[in-house]
Amino acid sequence: MTNAPVIIWFRRDLRVEDNPALAAAHETKQPVIPLFILESESDSVPGAASRWWLHHALAALETRFADRGSRLILRTGPASDILPDLVKETGASQVFWNRRYGAGDIETDKALKTTLTDDGVSVESFNGTLVCEPWETKTGSGGFYKVYTPFWKSIKAKGPSRKEQATRPDKLAVPDTWPDSTALAALDLLPTKPDWAAKFPDWEPGEKGARAKLRAFLDGPVNGYDDDRNRPDIEGTSRLSPHLAWGEISPLQIWETTKDAVARGSVNDDEADKFLSEVVWRDFAYNLLYHYPDIRDEPIKPEFADFPWDDDRDALTAWQKGQTGYPIVDAGMRQLYDTGWMHNRVRMITASFLIKDLIIPWQEGERWFWDCLVDADLANNAASWQWVAGCGADAAPYFRIFNPVSQGEKFDPQGDYVRTYVPELAALPKKHIHKPWEAPDAILQEAGVTLGETYPKPIVDHGEARKLALAGYDQIRNK
Ligand code: FAD
């Protein structure tokens, strides 16, 4: 047996539990070098909020390795240079990683595999990210699913492709000499002037935080999930998304822990099913990314490339800053900026508003979310934007245009969500909080609201905007 080290290259799988690539590296019994590269070229170069998360996630992972008598090596630059250099420097004989699915990343990984294999280094990759690999779930005729419900039914019937979790190493063999590592602080991932992340809530990046979120969810909210998950004023969802986006918990861990809770009788079977079906939406998004590699830029329905979009930069800025004059939209956009996260229902409302009220291309929204979300995820973000825009696979039809007032009244019935993020409207009674422009002067005055001064008047008339959007759709739909 050789004593040459093996490298485990971490990407968006920042955990030691149920990590198939790490487990395989450990099983070689050779010294293990854990590596993370802050890549300058990748499909998933993190935006600002995700960089904040990444800093803390790497700090947590460093501790996990220190606890195991080991270290995490940090490097920056293109993986195509860094990895072969590190292999040469350390004399590593094997490299392990969990797979990723962006077209550019697949290409990078394939090229690396060829280069390293040609040099006599063995490379092995694993599924550490999805319930099932995109190529494993096929329709009856052997194609891939473009509609969600049969995709979910197929995965539900066969279960996760890995039948058991990978073993967590409790101690790792270490090399005689450690290669140099860049200090975490030198990666410069945190904002400084201004420190906009100071307002972020008590997120706990890392595996411990991920497990705590899952436990807290399964101990309570899951049993009302089917209804409450649509209510932004209630903590009715798991908030696991940033942990999943960075691979601090695997979908298999979520699947098995949820099923165990059902078996113990503490979680209702139907609610668990609903929750797992949402987790599998993530697989569906990766299935789309894999089969439509340009999903971030190009509409899956090609006719949408000719949509007569508007290019109103002021309107875009008003949307980004939560100054549209529509309270539920503004609350969502401010929640996003202030906390790095936004409730799913409000993501749909704000996205629909950008695309169908402001007639601004969905790609602009995708980019802004990418920069502001701590859970920014290549597949989920792009597939969801295309879904709302009506140009994706299994998308909501374009003519389904969310009414920001009735959506607010239905899903934030007391107006508490708006009051939290749009404090200048906090004193308005619930009857008027989602449409302050219809409130009588006396009520506005009593609530300290002066439209156009303390809070904007609506930047568009929803009814008129809707007609324009539908006219645009008419132009392309018969092409
Ligand atoms: P829960 O309801 O507790 O769901 C559990 C997990 O299932 C989530 O963490 C997520 O990983 C997955 N999931 C749930 N809903 C979806 C969905 N519709 N599509 C794909 N996966 C889902 N999610 C991201 O993780 N990253 C993104 O960048 C992202 N961008 C989005 C952009 C838009 C315009 C929209 C409408 C949705 C987007 N979503 C994105 C999906 C969804 O809003 C979030 O996953 C969800 O709000 C996360 O909250 P949670 O963890 O409490 O979800």
Ligand 1 atom closest to residue 238's alpha carbon, by position in its atom list: 3
Amino acid at 22: L
DSSP 378-441: HHHHHHHHHHHHT-STTPPPTT----HHHHHHHHSTTSHHHHHH-GGGTTS-HHHHT-GGGS-H
Measure 382 CA to ligand 1 centroid, in angstroms. Answer: 11
pLDDT tier at 394, thresholds 50, 70, 90: confident
Report how far ligand 1's centroid is from the alpha carbon of 364 (Å): 19
Which among 380, 391, 394 is the best mutation to test ligand 1's pocket, defined by most ligand atoms within 8 Å of the CB?
Answer: 380
Ligand 1, atom 50, lies closest to the CA of 239
pLDDT digit string (tens) for 30-52? 999 999 999 999 999 999 999 99
CA dist 473 → 311, 382, 413, 460 (Å): 17, 20, 32, 19
pLDDT of 53 above 60: yes
* Beta pairing, strands 6-10 & 73-76: unpaired
Give Cα separations from 368 to 85, 270, 333, 345, 383 (angstroms). Answer: 35, 35, 10, 17, 15
Instruction: Measure the CA–CA gap between 279 and 239, rounded to whole angstroms.
Output: 12
Q: Distance between CA 209 and CA 240 in Å, rounded?
A: 9
Q: In angstroms, what is the span from residue 234 Cα to ligand 1's centroid?
A: 16
Query: Among the atoms of ligand 1, which is closest to the Cα of residue 385?
Result: 34
246 C-alpha to center of ligand 1: Å?
13
Phi, psi dihedrals of residue 237, rounded to the nearest 5°:
-120, 175
Per-residue pLDDT band at 2 (split at 50, 70, 90): confident
User: Which ligand 1 atom is at minimum distance from the Cα of 239?
Assistant: 52
> Among 355-364, 376-385, 388-397, whose mean pLDDT is lowest?
388-397
Q: What is the pLDDT of residue 201?
A: 87
Q: What is the pTM of this model?
A: 0.97
Residue 479, pLDDT above cutoff 80: no
pLDDT in tens, 317-367: 999 999 999 999 999 999 999 999 999 999 999 999 999 999 999 999 999
Query: Strand order in 6-10's β-sheet?
Result: 73-76, 32-38, 6-10, 94-98, 122-126
Rounded alpha-carbon distances, angstroms, from residue 388 to 95, 283, 312, 313 = 40, 18, 20, 21
In the predicted model, is pLDDT for residue 386 greater than 80?
A: yes
Which of 203, 280, 339, 384 has most ligand 1 atoms within 8 Å of its beta carbon, as the pocket-test mutant? 384
Torsion of CA 113, 115, 121, 126, to 10 degrees: -10
Q: What's the pLDDT at 58?
A: 98
DSSP string, 35-80: EEEE-SSSTT---HHHHHHHHHHHHHHHHHHHHTT---EEEES-HH
Nearest CA to ligand 1 atom 8: 241
Those residues whose C-beta lies under 8 Å from the C-beta of residue 468, and which sit 6 or more positions away, are 359
Residue 245 C-alpha to ligand 1 middle, in angstroms?
A: 10
Ligand 1 centroid, distance to 400 Cα (angstroms): 20
By most ligand atoms within 8 Å of CB, the mutation choice from 344, 353, 371, 400 for ligand 1 is 344
- Nearest Cα neighbor of 360 from 324, 336, 396 is 324
Ligand 1 atom 15 nearest Cα: 278
- Asked if residue 305 lies in contact with residue 284, where contact means CB atoms within 8 angstroms, the answer is no
* The pLDDT of residue 477: 80
194-241 pLDDT tens trace: 899 988 989 999 999 999 999 999 999 999 999 999 999 999 999 999
% of the chain surpassing 90 pLDDT: 95
Q: Can the peptide bond before residue 194 be classed as cis, meaning omega within 30 degrees of 0?
A: yes
Which residues contact ligand 1 via a Cβ below 6 A? 229, 237-241, 244-245, 278-279, 281-282, 285, 344, 347-348, 351, 369, 373, 375-377, 380-381, 384-385, 388
Residue that the structure tokens 């324009």 belong to: 468
Residues 351 and 392: beta-carbon distance below 8 Å: no
Provide CB contacts within 8 A for 459, sequence distance 6+.
315, 318, 323, 324, 325, 358
Nearest CA to ligand 1 atom 31: 381
Q: How far is the CA of 380 from the centre of ligand 1 (A)?
A: 7
Q: Whose CA is nearest to atom 29 of ligand 1?
A: 381
Residue of 309, 298, 236, 261 lying closest to 469 (CA atoms): 309
Catalytically active residues, by annotation: 278, 281, 309, 344, 362, 385
Whose tokens are 């040099």? That residue is: 119
332 near 347, Cβ under 8 Å? yes
CA distance 176 to 390: 56
Those residues with Cβ within 8 angstroms of residue 2's Cβ, 6 or more apart along the chain or in another chain: 30, 93
Residue 1 — very low, low, confident or very high, per pLDDT cuts 50/70/90? low
Q: Which atom of ligand 1 is nearest to the CA of 370?
A: 28
CA-proximal residue: ligand 1, atom 12 (nearest) = 279
Q: Best of 239, 278, 387 to mutate for ligand 1, by most ligand atoms within 8 A of CB?
A: 278
Burial string for 317-353 (b: 16+ CB within 10 Å, else e) reads ebbbebbbbbbbbbbbbbbbbbbbbbbebbbbbbbbb
Q: What is the pLDDT of residues 258-315, one digit of tens each?
A: 999 999 999 999 999 999 999 999 999 999 999 999 999 999 999 999 999 998 999 9
Look at 194-198, 298-302, 375-379, 416-420 and tell me which has the smallest mean pLDDT.
194-198
Task: State the Cα–Cα distance between residues 30 and 28, nearest whole angstrom.
Answer: 5
The closest residue, in CA terms, to atom 11 on ligand 1 is 241
Distance 220 CA to ligand 1 centre (A): 19
Closest residue CA from atom 3 of ligand 1: 238
Q: Bridge-partner residues for 403, per DSSP?
A: none
State mean pLDDT over 137-159. Answer: 96
**DSSP letter at 125?**
E
